[in-house]
């Protein structure tokens, strides 16, 4: 009987899955297209779902089955996980294979949400479903990259930001702030609406954030967005500069610095002193903001480092944990 262990990192934007034995992982958008007339009929998963929705000939609806690391639509989550298992185990998994799943979850996840996730994987043929808290997964990858054993782990995700003081594989203190990637995108859209009297779609605001947002006060970058004039209803293009977004970006990151300072103050002096030596280790998609490390360093007077591949730190660390668990 063949034994396979697959590690999953469930995200609202993307879900990743990796095979323990070789460390290989795949990542697809966390979206499923269902038939508009028959929601039980799956039209596509991941990029195929997005393509189906963009095709005007298809009467389908997009469903996002993962929210804040939890399953909110069981049937669509099952289709999403099944697609990833198919990609991870092409031609390998047999009917009588022993499949074990390790799933990354938020620190504060309640048992009922874990049971819900477990039931989906069991229905897909997993014999065992284990869970690892996301800060521990993050710390394994970050500590290896930066040759550390302690520090403040900050994962700036799409739905929320997780802050954790981790010391020798133990979470000493932690906090979650629901003021993250999607909220920053919304704030940018609102800023542009108020200034120019135009309606900016979420997707256009996201592109503006990715291509123009910066924490360098002297950044001269610009980006052109398409929007709708609120007075005339006409579509127009406007050029936005990085300086116009600066205050909005700073407001968000200063809140992160405030949480970090509070967490360090909440632990005993010896742990605080030891963890502060390594400072702040950043991961998650939000860690890609230009200048975030320099800005936070100036605010906190602590070392601040960004992972080399921040968006994939969690799945990488979870695969390492899986190996240790054996």
- What b/e string do you get for 235-246 counting C-beta neighbours within 10 Å, with b at 16 or more? eeeeebebbbbb
User: Residue range 245-258: average pLDDT?
Assistant: 96
DSSP assignments along 144-162, one per residue: HHHT-SEEEEEEE-SS-EE
Nearest to residue 316, comparing CAs of 143, 188, 118, 96? 143
Provide, rounded to the nearest whole percent, the portion of the chain with pLDDT above 70. 95
Kindly tell me if the per-residue pLDDT of 198 is higher than 60. Answer: yes
User: Residue range 128-151: average pLDDT?
Assistant: 93
Kindly tell me if the per-residue pLDDT of 165 is higher than 60. Answer: yes
| 31 within 8 A of 50, measured Cβ to Cβ | yes
User: Residue range 275-281: average pLDDT?
Assistant: 86
Band (pLDDT 50/70/90 cuts) for residue 56 is low
User: Residue range 115-134: average pLDDT?
Assistant: 94
Band (pLDDT 50/70/90 cuts) for residue 163 is very high
User: Residue range 159-182: average pLDDT?
Assistant: 89
Angle formed by the axes of helices 74-88 and 111-123, nearest 10°: 50
Supply φ then ψ for residue 114, to 5 degrees: -65, -40
Band (pLDDT 50/70/90 cuts) for residue 131 is very high
Domains defined along the chain, listed by start: 3-126 (3.30.420.40), 146-179+248-310 (3.30.420.40), 193-245 (3.90.640.10)
Q: List all residues 6 or more positions away from 82 whose beta carbon is below 8 Å from its beta carbon.
A: 124
Kindly tell me if the per-residue pLDDT of 325 is higher than 90. Answer: no
Q: List all residues 6 or more positions away from 62 whose beta carbon is below 8 Å from its beta carbon.
A: 31, 32, 33, 49, 50, 53
Q: 100 has which bridge partners?
A: 5, 128
User: Residue range 67-75: average pLDDT?
Assistant: 92
Kindly tell me if the per-residue pLDDT of 22 is higher than 60. Answer: yes
Band (pLDDT 50/70/90 cuts) for residue 161 is very high
Query: What distance in Å separates the CA atoms of residue 88 and residue 101, rounded to the nearest whole number?
Result: 12
Q: List all residues 6 or more positions away from 84 whose beta carbon is below 8 Å from its beta carbon.
A: 6, 8, 15, 16, 17, 26, 28
Of 5-9, 67-71, 191-195, the one with minimum mean pLDDT is 67-71
Collapse the DSSP code of 227 into the 3-class scheme (helix H, G, I; strand E, B; otherwise coil) and give the result.
strand
Band (pLDDT 50/70/90 cuts) for residue 40 is confident
User: Residue range 127-132: average pLDDT?
Assistant: 94
Residue 326 has a pLDDT of: 42
Kindly tell me if the per-residue pLDDT of 94 is higher than 60. Answer: no
Greatest alpha-carbon pair distance for the chain in Å reads: 67
Collapse the DSSP code of 96 into the 3-class scheme (helix H, G, I; strand E, B; otherwise coil) and give the result.
coil
Band (pLDDT 50/70/90 cuts) for residue 83 is very high
3-state DSSP helix/strand/coil % of the chain, to nearest 5 = 45, 30, 30
Considering the chain, what is the average pLDDT of its residues? Answer: 91
Query: What distance in Å separates the CA atoms of residue 21 and residue 262, rounded to the nearest whole number?
Result: 40
What is the pTM assigned to this prediction? 0.90
Nearest to residue 249, comparing CAs of 239, 241, 238? 241
Kindly tell me if the per-residue pLDDT of 251 is higher than 50. Answer: yes
User: Residue range 140-156: average pLDDT?
Assistant: 94
Kindly tell me if the per-residue pLDDT of 39 is higher than 70. Answer: yes
């Amino acid at each position: 009987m063949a034994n396979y262990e697959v590690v999953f990192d469930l995200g609202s934007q993307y879900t990743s899955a990796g095979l323990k034995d070789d460390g290989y992982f795949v990542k697809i958008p966390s979206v499923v297209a269902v038939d508009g007339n028959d929601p039980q009929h799956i039209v596509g998963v991941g990029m195929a779902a997005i393509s189906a929705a963009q095709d005007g000939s298809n009467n389908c609806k997009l469903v996002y089955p993962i929210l804040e690391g939890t399953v909110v639509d069981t049937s669509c989550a099952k289709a999403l996980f099944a697609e990833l298992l198919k990609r991870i185990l092409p031609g390998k998994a047999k009917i009588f294979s022993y499949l074990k799943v390790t799933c990354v979850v938020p620190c504060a996840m309640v048992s009922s949400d874990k049971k819900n996730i477990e039931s989906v994987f069991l229905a897909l043929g997993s014999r065992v479903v284990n869970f690892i808290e996301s800060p521990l997964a993050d710390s394994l990858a970050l500590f290896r990259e930066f040759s550390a054993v302690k520090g403040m782990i900050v994962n700036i995700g799409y739905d929320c930001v997780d802050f954790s003081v981790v010391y020798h594989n133990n979470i000493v203190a932690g906090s979650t702030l629901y003021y993250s990637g999607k909220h920053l995108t919304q704030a940018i859209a609102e800023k542009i609406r108020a200034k120019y009297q135009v309606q900016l779609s979420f997707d256009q605001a996201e592109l503006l954030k990715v291509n123009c947002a910066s924490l360098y006060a002297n950044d001269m970058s610009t980006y052109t967005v398409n929007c709708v004039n609120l007075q005339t209803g006409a579509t127009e293009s406007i050029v936005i500069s990085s300086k116009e977004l600066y205050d909005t970006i700073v407001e968000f990151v200063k809140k992160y610095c405030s949480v970090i300072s509070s967490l360090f103050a909440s632990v005993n002096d010896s742990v605080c002193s030891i963890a502060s030596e390594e400072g702040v280790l950043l991961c998650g998609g939000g860690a890609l903001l230009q200048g975030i490390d320099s800005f936070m360093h100036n605010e906190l007077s602590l070392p601040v480092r960004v992972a080399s591949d921040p968006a994939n730190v969690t799945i990488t660390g979870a695969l390492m944990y899986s190996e240790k668990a054996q």
